[in-house]
Amino acid sequence: MPEYEGYKVVYEVIAMPKGKWAIFIEIIRTKDGDALVARHNPFPDHPFDTKLEALDHVNRYIGRTVAALDSEEGVDTVRRVA
């Protein structure tokens, strides 16, 4: 899971019936602990077949969301891969 400077990303992968997977995420600013994106499922109508498929979609979603948050605040996004 990629890490973003200045943000903490909390995610939870949830097993659903029939072998499907869902994921909940929350994006928190580390300097003040403010939840910028509250805990939610960004793909409510899309159950995933595997955990890896869910994480792939979430990584792309988080990248776009953090970039949008940074552009609102005038900050350049620094991405680190853990």
Give the pLDDT means over successive 10-residue stretches in the chain (82 positions): 81 86 87 86 85 85 87 55 45
Residue 78: the pLDDT is 45
Distances (CA, A) of 66 to 38, 52, 55: 13, 21, 16
Residue-level pLDDT at 1:
63
Residue 19 pLDDT: 86
The pTM score is 0.71
